[in-house]
């Protein structure tokens, strides 16, 4: 019976060691699953942050597009006003030239009248 007892003892020890190994491996796998779950949570949080940043940048881009369109509209309005001013300045120059010619003609008329009187 001593050989049977030794065999049973060896089998019991082997089973106990196997159970300990399974328990250690199971605990290691659970710890790895916890780490992986934390990594996934961190990745999801980073993705949410990046999505929020992207949305903010998209809003900034739309605001810039709107500002650019307004700037272009104002530049067009400014050019139109500038053209009108240049046109009016041309008209004012013509008017000034006409006034000068009228003054010369009046002066000539006055001199002619004075010459005729003498």
pLDDT in tens, 53-83: 999 999 999 999 999 999 999 999 999 999 9
Instruction: Retrieve residue 7's tokens.
Output: 């065999």
State the virtual CA torsion across 77, 80, 81, 86 in degrees, nearest 10.
160
Residue 52 predicted with pLDDT over 90:
yes
Q: 75-95 burial, b for 16+ CB within 10 Å, e for fewer? A: eeeeeeeeeeeeeeeeeeeee
d(CA 82, CA 88): 10
> For the chain, where are the alpha helices, taking DSSP H only?
2-117
Pairwise pLDDT comparison (62 vs 117), residue with the higher score: 62
pLDDT for the residue numbered 2: 85
pTM for this entry: 0.49
Residue 112 sits at φ, ψ, to 5 deg, of -65, -45
d(C-alpha 12, C-alpha 16), whole Å: 6
pLDDT band at 1 (very low <50, low <70, confident <90, very high): low
Cα(98)–Cα(100) distance, rounded to whole angstroms?
5
| Rounded-to-integer distance, Cα 37 and Cα 48, Å | 16
Look up residue 89 and give its two tokens.
Answer: 């300045």
């Amino acid at each position: 019976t001593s050989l049977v007892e030794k065999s049973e003892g060896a089998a019991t020890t082997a089973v106990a060691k196997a159970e300990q190994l399974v328990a250690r491996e199971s605990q290691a796998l659970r710890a790895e699953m916890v780490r992986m779950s934390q990594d996934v949570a961190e990745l999801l949080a980073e993705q949410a942050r990046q999505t929020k940043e992207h949305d903010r940048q998209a809003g900034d881009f739309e605001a810039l597009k709107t500002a650019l369109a307004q700037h272009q509209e104002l530049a067009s309005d400014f050019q139109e006003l500038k053209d009108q001013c240049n046109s009016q300045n041309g008209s004012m120059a013509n008017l000034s030239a006409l006034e000068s010619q009228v003054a010369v003609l009046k002066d000539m008329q006055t001199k002619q009248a004075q010459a005729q009187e003498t």
